[in-house]
Amino acid sequence: MSEKTYFNPEDLKKFGNISEFQPEMAKKFFAWYGEVFKEGALTEREKALIALAVAHSEQCPYCIDAYSTACLEKGADEEQMMEAVHVAAAIKSGAALVNSTQMMNHVKKLTM
C-alpha cells in the first residue's frame, strides 16, 4: 500500500471533477485549455515541452506527471525534456539574480 501523502498522483485523474463545484467556469477553462494545446504555430510537442518547463518552475507535481507523459507521447526524448527543465531553471535562477541589481542599487544609495 502506498504511503499517504498530500500529493496523490491518482488525483490527477479527477481534474475534470472541478466542474462539480463550478460547471460553467470549468467548461470554459477546459475548452480553452484544449485549444491552447492544439497544433498551431507551435507543434504539440513544442507546447508539451514548454508546459513541462513551466510545470517545474511552478513546482506542480500533477503537471510534471502529466507533461512528462505528454512529452513522451508527442515524441520528445529525455535529452529534450531535461533541456526544457534547464531553461525553466535558468529563468528561475536568472530571475532571482537579476533582482540583485535592485539590491545593489539600494545598497549603493545607502552606503558611502
Partner 1 sequence: MAIKQRTKSLKARNSELADTFVQLNVLNGKDRVDEKFPSFNKKVADLGFVPFQPTKMEIFQMNVGKMCNQTCAHCHVDAGPDRKEIMTKETMEQCLEVLAKGDFHTVDLTGGAPEMNPHFRWFVEECSKLGLQIIDRCNLTIIVANKKYHDLPEFFAKHKVQVVSSLPYFSASRTDKQRGDGVFEDSIKALKMLNAVGYGVANSGLELNLVYNPTGAFLPGNQASLEQEFKRQLQRKYDIVFNQLYAITNLPISRFLEYLLDSGNYEDYMEKLVNAFNPATVQSVMCRNTISVGWDGFLYDCDFNQMLDLKVAAPKSQHISDFDAKALNDRTIILNQHCYGCTAGAGSSCGGEVV
Task: Please give the residue ranges that form the binding site for partner 1 (CB under 8 A).
Answer: 39, 43-45, 69, 72-75, 77-79
Smallest gap from Cβ 60 to partner 1, in A, equals 20
Based on CB atoms, which residue is closest to partner 1, 72 or 98? Answer: 72
Smallest gap from Cβ 35 to partner 1, in A, equals 16
Based on CB atoms, which residue is closest to partner 1, 58 or 77? Answer: 77
Smallest gap from Cβ 56 to partner 1, in A, equals 19
Cα Rg, the chain, nearest whole Å:
19
Query: If you search the block for the grid coordinates 463550478, which residue do you land on?
Result: 22
The burial of 80, by beta-carbon neighbours within 10 Å (0-12 exposed, 13-18 middle, 19 or more buried), is given as middle
